Chains A and B, each alone.
Chain A
Amino acid sequence: KNEVEQSPQNLTAQEGEFITINCSYSVGISALHWLQQHPGGGIVSLFMLSSGKKKHGRLIATINIQEKHSSLHITASHPRDSAVYICAVTNTGNQFYFGTGTSLTVIP
């Protein structure tokens, strides 16, 4: 069972490119999360959203509840953005379902 699907699985970009990572989910949710995991393994919560759009610096996350779809955009990508980006959803019961992640490499 794959409640959360991400694409692409792997992504290589040149520094400065605009990057989009997509996430689709099949369950009813109370919130959607975008997480970042660096090669050292630590996980950082980037966004938590239940509607619309959020922006932090060069990162933008959008969600379309009707289409059960979210996107994470990175503008002016930089090598330090290289990481695994994970989409996750929480249902109304606070259970957490994760995508398998998108491995991003930004080349200088």
Chain B
Amino acid sequence: EAQVTQNPRYLITVTGKKLTVTCSQNMNHEYMSWYRQDPGLGLRQIYYSMNVEVTDKGDVPEGYKVSRKEKRNFPLILESPSPNQTSLYFCASRPDREEGYTFGSGTRLTVV
């Protein structure tokens, strides 16, 4: 089944403890991206990647890192999480400019 898989679905962590949210797609898509969704603010783009080893900042990149060492994986790294990074995170991918996006199921992160 063609899909974008995020892990974990739920995560509670403490301030300052490094964490990684994984994102993997099995559709050979070139473009991948990360978003966070907050009440009243909607969805905002964190980082995106046009292809392997190519990443760019979105609207709210502060406090996050990404890497794209291989086409299928695009992990989101929080080196020192803070409570203001408590949010619902989505990963998405698409093949090229002419196609729509496939979203992962989301990761609900709570930083205490």
Cα–Cα, bound, A93→B105 (Å): 26
In the complex, the answer to whether A45 meets B102 with C-beta atoms within 8 Å is yes
Enumerate chain B interface residues (CB-CB to A < 8 A): 31, 33, 35, 40-45, 48, 50, 56, 58-59, 88, 90, 92, 97-103, 105-106
Residues of the B chain whose Cβ atoms lie less than 8 Å from the Cβ of A48: 98-101
A95 surroundings in chain B (CB, below 8 A): 45, 48, 56, 58-59
A42 touches B105 (CB 8 A): yes
State whether A96 touches B42 (Cβ < 8 A).
no
B96 CB to nearest chain A CB (Å) = 11
Contacts of B56 in A (CB 8 A): 93-95
A41 at interface (Cβ–Cβ under 8 A)? Answer: yes
> A31 CA to B97 CA in the complex, in Å?
8
Binary contact track A39-83/B, C-beta < 8 Å → 1, others 0: 001111111100000000000000000000000000000000000
Bound CA span A17–B54, Å: 46
Does A7 lie at the interface of the complex (its beta carbon under 8 Å from any beta carbon of B)? no
Docked CA distance A33–B98 (Å): 11
Task: Determine if A96 and B100 form an interchain contact, defined as CB atoms under 8 angstroms apart.
Answer: no
Decide: A96 and B90 in contact? CB cutoff 8 A: no
Q: Contact check, B35 vs A96: say whether CB atoms are below 8 A apart.
A: yes
Which residues of chain A have a CB within 8 Å of any CB of chain B?
30-31, 33, 35, 41-48, 86, 88, 93-101
**Interfacial chain B residues near A101, Cβ < 8 Å:** 42
A96 close to B103 (CB less than 8 A): no
Once bound together, how far apart are the Cα atoms of A56 and B42, in whole Å? Answer: 25
Smallest CB–CB gap between A63 and chain B, Å? 14
Query: Could you tell me the distance between the alpha carbons of A99 and B51 in the complex, rounded to whole angstroms?
Result: 26
Among A30, A33, A43, A46, the one with the most B-chain Cβ atoms within 10 Å of its Cβ is A43
CB atoms of B48 and A96 under 8 A apart: yes
Query: In this complex, what residue of B is CB-closest to A49?
Result: B100
Least CB distance, A87 to chain B, in whole angstroms: 10
Asked if A33 meets B100 with Cβ closer than 8 Å, knowing A94-B50, A95-B58, A98-B43, the reply is yes
Not counting A43-B106, A96-B59, a sample of 13 additional A-B residue pairs whose C-beta atoms are within 8 angstroms of each other reads A33-B100, A41-B105, A42-B106, A43-B92, A43-B103, A47-B100, A48-B100, A48-B101, A94-B56, A95-B45, A95-B59, A97-B59, A101-B42
